Structure 1
């Protein structure tokens, strides 16, 4: 079978039937582009991303207010807040806090973790709040009633467990310019404290996060799913469950360009072969598919649709389904990680052998070297709200641009609805899910 596809001249296209077909195509195409502008603005991997609006803390502001309200009640020593962990909690929740210059996220972080928890849920958590200063009075929260009212344990440096003089040397202005050592040391110290409680899981949170209403039951359901899928994979262990991630690292990856090119060529070839086959075997339709029209459909319209597909963004077009999934790459950062009890001391040994470095990077290095399974909970149950890092060596960006801490953002988190989450949480508490 010999099929020839004649490439038309531009002058003949302008006043042709093919030109009218193309104009008809442009109408729905323009509508799709308009729809993409309306729906893809939260997707940082999209050409239609609107940065100023996407970084607006819509839900997280409301949730932070709920957390602050709980803190204020605790400061007034309201009796109803006097809930503590049961003798056999499931999770140890640890937060480390240091004073940040000019800002404080600690209250809203702790408040959002606890706000809305039922007495049964609260009893399932052993909450350790670590004031990471050799002089705890340097942290304003240490002298406030809520800290001691809400925590199951307020952790301080103990000379029996750690070289306090060395810690004190890391608190100098000179040492703070390289905060990697103290940050890792504090993380390790809190991990050990949680391990000593003996809970099956340890939830490590940073002090500049916001937890959504219902984070506890979603995390508990996710842990059951992780254990089930780990068994199905015939794996003996897993390293962590990630509770926070940013979509900024989930875009079209340059190393995958051969895959993108293959499917793009496959799409264009499919349209070309389909139209040529229709012309040959459906003679009644042949007048509607002249060579010029076939050319435009295959090599103009189809590429335009492919371009729009990529412009809409990977998070929009190829979203990760809700639930628990493996995330061996592109996970960031250490805002919220859940570790099974049996893996913590291995990690502690790894951290102590390194002595310096970012927790998230060292954890990924350990996982990569040991072939560890890493899980992520989709959608994120945490938001990172810290615009000022506890690590003073974060470089300052140019005026008008967001700093690195400000770009650690989960855009989907802000789509949460307060009422919907509250109803979901009530239902879970009612049915014990």
Structure 2
């Protein structure tokens, strides 16, 4: 037997023992590798609670965003002079939805707006209409620490709230209703009615006040990557080309398989790795690992037996029955399990590109097709009247399913959820888990190069050259203002 009493030297001479030792060495090295490189994947056995949410690119981007924001507050005229405002016919109407949070220091919306504008080209700014929706009731000026300073800065195209925009005839009634929804943090459905209505109201505002063909709804606790606007416009052009494929058909209820519908609802700028793992967990029977292992091991076992019979005796002794047993009975199942347990995002990831994708978490950053935005806003407003309205991130998915509309994602993701202090009933621990591992892998110098190329492709050589000059002078002026 393989485990009979023998000296260490004799044991090492047994092929089965040597194979088992090699297997253990390989697994040990793989565990070390996984601990070093897969620790940020939340669906991996190597995920680290301590370091899984370490900030890399988001720390760089927040520094850029905060520097720009502080400089803009110090000298609003300079910021407006550098970037200007949206043109008369913007391509994207972008609206941040924000409510005041009980937190020390800077509010999330400050960094979010800073990341929206920092390093943006003047041509890109003309193509994007920026709104901020302060959804606090009854008085955002007193409830949100950033309201007054953003109004004074004048770097947006519109700042609005319920008191400033609700029709006079039902303003008091609606504000009172929204206050009742917001006051009880433990009432999940009441909070959902408020957040669903906020979302629909922001979407409707863009539809009614601009003619932009695309509407970006952005949560107030995100960070946007350098060049996000130009890259998004490039991705939107790709989507429009996709939808012109003659093989596509008129949308039908529920017909949302990739390549079917000829129109789309939204482009996703944020997703989390928890949304695209394997179908099962990390257990050995999940993902049918036991079946896959048997399907690989049994044919391999027969092949190795056949090979062993064909080999000369001095070679076949290295492929004895114990070696075959270790390979087929231990190594194969272990390798298959390690593949799935390591995490899909870690091993495969999401290659760059624009593609239809019908899974995904949350509504931190979505760009809607104006053709369906008005109907979606009406749909969500009606849903907010229900005692249990559903969630603001799930209702658009249901709307897309009901109307046969494609949902699209573009990689790499251009937004990160930076919020840790929740504005509703979500625990802070759960809030931090809404997180994009891939966003942290973005490289500033690569983003800057891509940004210039995108501006050149979208707006021409003159716009790209103007952006280079703007960056050069702008960085110097920002540094002077910050000193």
TM over 0.5: yes
Displacement after TM superposition at 1:9 (Å): 5.8
Q: Residues 41 and 203 (structure 1 numbering): CA distance in 2 closer, same or farther, change over 3 Å? A: same
Q: Secondary structure at the match of 2:350?
A: coil
Q: Shift of the alpha carbon at 1:380?
A: 1.5
Q: Which residue does the alignment assign to 1:334? A: 363
C-alpha displacement of 1:129? 1.1
- Equivalent in the alignment of 1:20: 18
With over 3 angstroms needed to count, the CA separation of the structure-2 counterparts of 1:429 and 1:345, relative to structure 1, is closer
Aligned to 1:368: 401
Matches within 5 A, 1:31-42: 31-42=29-40
2:243 aligned residue (206, 220, 230) = 230
Match among 114, 118, 130 for residue 115 of structure 1 = 118
Does residue 315 of the first structure (1) align with residue 327 of the second (2)?
no
Given that 1:148 and 1:154 are in contact with CA atoms closer than 8 Å, whether structure 2 keeps it comes out as: no
1:164-203 pair list within 5 angstroms: 164-165=171-172, 166-172=174-180, 174-175=183-184, 177=186, 178-196=190-208, 197-203=210-216
2:278: which partner in 1? 252
Q: Does 1:408 align with 2:434?
A: yes
SS, match of residue 103 in structure 2 = coil
5+ unaligned residues in a row in structure 2: which ranges? Answer: 249-260, 460-483
User: Which residue is equivalent to 2:472?
Assistant: none
Q: Is 2:101 the counterpart of 1:100?
A: yes
Could you tell which deviates more after superposition, 229-238 or 239-248? 229-238
The corresponding residue for 1:399 is none
* CA distance in structure 2 between the partners assigned to 1:298 and 1:67 by the alignment: 55
Q: Which residue of 2 aligns with 1:84?
A: 85
1:12-48 deviation digits (Å, cap 9, x = unpaired) = 8993222122223332332222212211111111111
Q: Which moved more, 1:254-263 or 1:50-59?
A: 254-263
Q: Could you list the per-position Cα deviations for residues 252-288 of structure 1 after superposition, in whole angstroms to 9, with x for gaps in the alignment?
A: 3239946544433233234323322322444464332
- Tell me how far 1:161 sits from its aligned partner: 7.3
Structure 1: where are the runs of 5+ without partners?
1-7, 397-401
Supply the distance in 2 between the matched residues of 1:327 and 1:108 (Cα, whole angstroms): 29
Give me the TM-score of the superposition, normalised by structure 1: 0.88
**Residue 412 of structure 2: which of 379, 387, 404 is its match?**
379
Q: Does 1:292 align with 2:296?
A: no
Give me the whole-angstrom Cα distance separating, in 2, the residues matched to 1:365 and 1:171. Answer: 27
TM-score by length of 2: 0.80
Secondary structure, aligned partner of 1:375: strand
Deviates more, 1:374-383 or 1:171-180: 171-180
Structure 2 CA distance for aligned equivalents of residues 162 and 293 of structure 1 = 83
Aligned to 1:159: 166
Q: Distance in 1 between matches of 2:220 and 2:169?
A: 22
Pick closer, same or farther for the CA change 1:146–1:409 going to 2, 3 Å. Answer: same
- Taking the aligned partners of 1:70 and 1:98, their CA distance within structure 2 comes to 22
Q: Which residue of 2 aligns with 1:55?
A: 53
Q: Distance in 2 between matches of 1:107 and 1:149?
A: 13
Larger mean Cα displacement after TM superposition, 242-251 or 311-320: 311-320
Distance 2:176 2:299 in 1: 67
* CA RMSD between the two structures: 2.5
- Structure 1 pair 179–317 and aligned structure 2 pair: CA distance change class (3 A): same
